[in-house]
Structure 1
């Protein structure tokens, strides 16, 4: 039986339930970062903080609010935008005594000094920060994160000996959110930052959650087109794009990981043995036309040579490079450029 996904409010109640379950257990606060975790290169931590939650994925998609921020009548983002790329998620605990406002202002000023462009921000409940807290959905954002050892002990006399769970211990108390873009290395990174009291006022701590998305194309070459699909594609369309033929940037030498795709191409060319094809190299629009013509031609010739080495007669093959003259997608995005960098088999 498939269960329905819990609502943001239900998830928050579940998190509170877990926290209450741990309320009577004495535990020490974290004393060190998550092993193997590190600050993102574009943004260093608030001084003295510990990086207690960490996750990084080479390619994933996340949802950020746009300029409308949180919806006025619901605990969600008014118009969420989907961003794809390399995702880094970081969860920090500031030193005891540091307020959410102090932490937030320091991050805000550092980002602005680096050229950060704000898409949306909030600092009060009237501006939508409480709704943004629920829209942030800690239940989902915490998936796959690694956590430091420790909990959030109570620090006041009344709650000495009590503690609360560390994991995703954000709250809507003194919550503030900042969302926008930051240029780095010629790319525009998407960044979301949320600071608040860590779970409740009894912990005396400030929690900061940061999510940074580096737009990039999904890693390609991880799926090989088999001989049957190759044959069907050639018969139906007269051509087929092969992303399992891999090259280093700006190079014409086939990488070893290309062998599986080459073997499937050979299987197609052996049945029937009279089949003739063009091997056509394509590039994105980065660089000059002349350089890309040479690069695409060199890659096509490298594939032809590899097929000949595997026993296919050279008379059945022709190599052509056409640079960026036949794109499959817009070159305005990294994802589009990734689709355009390819080698195709084309029926003669």
Structure 2
């Protein structure tokens, strides 16, 4: 199996699947929980649960299954999926199917496709992500979910021979921050229910939103205009400098500034919007580095309904 030559890591630390000089990059600190490697067959899902079965391709060859755990990345399950998806795409894989828990078929899909069980592989039946892909006679399948603290992901590879199967290893280092998803705003809202609004600039310690066009706000405005029934709450976040009380107040004011910009500049109905803030209680990255603090200072849009 030919795996990607040059890939985007989720963090500085990489858990690698070396195949000769090639590797598939996994999240920072990921640890292998269990692995099964054997010749045989695997069902590769190609559509949602149809009420009876999960439509699938029966792939034959060397089947390699692994369950991985990524400590402290419970909020990163969708980013893990998109990172692996982007790496597979770079290597020429064609995608067969991608879904989220509800669109996959919930309980029935997970238990027909997932191979490992807790504690090796924890799956939140209301919040998991899946994709399958093919490159020639090589197949890849990814199932990602999370517990309250950690992310879990199950990888299945079917390759023509054992020699093509990945050999797994991990390397320890200090993780930094997660990359932002490159998916369109509406895709992120549909898949994980929230999106970071990039390009917002505030003065230090201020809730004043800088003037100028912000593509993310234009995209969010278009999303809301398309369906007047859609409701969004804007949630402000800060880094960990200063008191919790002060940061919560500042994060709320920044979210309110974004809401007013959407109303005043883009004509969004105020009934579709609300604003709140949580200060530094939901970081994306560590607050030790300047890079991490910058990532934590953000406003997110959270989708309240899909009807």
TM over 0.5: no
Structure whose alpha-carbon radius of gyration is higher: 1
Structure of higher RCO (CA pairs closer than 8 Å, 6+ residues apart) = 2
Q: TM-score, normalised by structure 1?
A: 0.34
